[in-house]
Amino acid sequence: MNTRVSNNNGSLLASIGRRWVLGFIIIEIVFFSVAARGFMSIDTVQLILFYGTEVFLLGTGELFVIISGGGGIDLSVGFVMGFATVVSAKLMVLFATMGASPLGSVLLGCAATLLIGLIPGLVNGWLVANLRVPPFIATFSMLGITHGISELLLQGSPAKNLPNLAGEIGNGYFAYLTPSGSLSFFSRPEVARGQHVWAIIPNIVVLAFIFIAIFAFVLHRTKFGRHVYAIGGNRDAAIRSGIDVRKSLLKVYVISSLFATIAGLSYTLKYITGKADAGSGMLLDGIAAVVIGGASMSGGSGTVWRSLLGALVIAILETGLRILGLQTFTTYIVVGVILIMAVIIDQLFPNFNR
């Protein structure tokens, strides 16, 4: 709708509106620091990132779809994520029983899942781009299909007996710093018990942000990225200017599916299990991250950076409320309210969010 409208930097209102998400994050941090003992610490920052990983990932994938416009939305991400947890867990167990080393099983399991995880996206994209099925219906159907397949694969009980290494990777940190100043990577150094070791950035957060950085580059710096904005901004104009809309749309849904799959892998490595409904509550978070980040649901606007901020709003909220000791249900309510706020701001000041 409103593609590339130049920002009107002048008015105060505009500048507040543009930064409200950042302002909200600061309010969250100040609030929880005062209200929740133990919130203000490096460890909390790590917890926020650790538990926010899936939201960061799903938000980035969903962003591509939402920018592409035409009612673009991917409702299947939560259950594609669950599907990925099931497939990866089953594959890791399979490779391990076939005699692969723990590292081999985990890596092969993840790699194969990344490939299989593209299939829901290919189908979604094909339905939307070639058959003109409304994205809502196409991806909603895929939600059911992936859910069903996952349950069939599991036969009632969560996947189990994964190699221990999976959990060590999923719960490990990129680097550790001992009080004596020695730095070690990937494995926690042996120190006297009770001595504080600074753990720096969970492994899965590092992995997630590598993927996010790559696709931020794709969206903001490549021709394909510009095409996605153009298609979302004005599809007819995009077609007239010779953009292959079908191919771009297909790619957009595959990217969304890819991120849902990565989110699933992150879950598998954290909890060393696979569950069909692992991401069932994540759809709201993924879409909310994008909308809070200021992307318009009608397409053509939004950035990865802003979606990450949107996801951060949710991640801080979840961890903060937990440390505060409030029931986790509270998060759903607050996220819902912020979501409505975001949309209202988008309506009132349509020109901010690009």
Partner 1 sequence: MKKGYSIALAILLVLAIALPTFANGQGEQKTAGKKQLTFLFMPGVADPFYTTMEKGIQAKGKELGVNIVVAEYPKAWGPEDQVPILQAAIQKGGIDGLLIAPTSVDALKAPLKAIYDKGIEIITVDTFLGDGDYSKAGTDYGFPLAYIGSDNELGGKQMAEHIAKLVGEKGKVFCEATNPDASSVAARVSGFKAGVAEFPNMKLAGVEWCMDVQQTAMQQTLAALQKDKDIVGIFGTNVYSAQGANQAVVNAGLAGAVKIASWDATTTNIDNLKKGTVDLVLAQKPAEMGSLAVDWLYKYLTKKVQVPKKVIPGFEFFTKDNVNDANMQQYIYQ
Q: Where are the alpha helices (DSSP H) in the chain?
A: 12-18, 20-35, 42-67, 77-97, 102-116, 118-129, 135-154, 164-171, 203-221, 223-233, 235-240, 245-271, 282-292, 304-324, 329-348
Edge-to-edge strand order for the sheet containing 183-185? 183-185, 173-177, 198-202
194 interacts with partner 1 by CB under 8 A:
yes
Residue 288 C-beta: closest distance to partner 1, Å: 18
Q: Give CA–CA dist 250/264, Å, rounded.
A: 21
275 interacts with partner 1 by CB under 8 A:
yes
10 interacts with partner 1 by CB under 8 A:
no
| Residue the block writes with tokens 């060393």 | 272
Q: Among residues 1, 5, 29, 100, which is the contact residue for partner 1, using CB under 8 A?
A: 29
6 interacts with partner 1 by CB under 8 A:
no
Q: Give CA–CA dist 200/177, Å, rounded.
A: 8
Residue 128 C-beta: closest distance to partner 1, Å: 31
Q: Which stretch binds partner 1 (CB under 8 A): 65-73, 110-118, 135-143, 317-325?
A: 317-325
| Residue number, 91 or 249, with CB nearest to partner 1 | 91
246 interacts with partner 1 by CB under 8 A:
no
132 interacts with partner 1 by CB under 8 A:
no
Q: Give CA–CA dist 87/95, Å, rounded.
A: 12
CB atoms within 10 A of CB 287: 24
Binding residues for partner 1 (CB under 8 A) = 7, 9, 15, 18-19, 22, 25-26, 29, 33, 36-45, 47, 51, 156-158, 160-162, 164, 167-168, 170-172, 188, 193-194, 196-197, 267, 270-273, 275, 278, 318-319, 322-323, 325-329
